[in-house]
A and B are shown apart, each in its own frame.
Chain A
Amino acid sequence: MTEWRPPLALVGAWLALLGLLALTVTLAYVPLGAGNAVVALSIGTIKAVLVAAIFMELRKRHGLTLVFAAAGLFWLGILLWLGLMDFMTRT
Chain B
Amino acid sequence: MELLEIVNTKLKEHFAGDIESAEQLYDYPVFTVNKDKIHDVLKFLKEDETLNFHFLTDLCGMQTADEKQLGVIYHLHNMPKNYRIRLKTFFDINKPEVATATDLWPSANWMERETYDFFGVKFKGHPNLKRILNVDEMDIFPLRKEYPLEDQGRTDKNDSMFGR
Are A and B subunits of one complex?
A: no
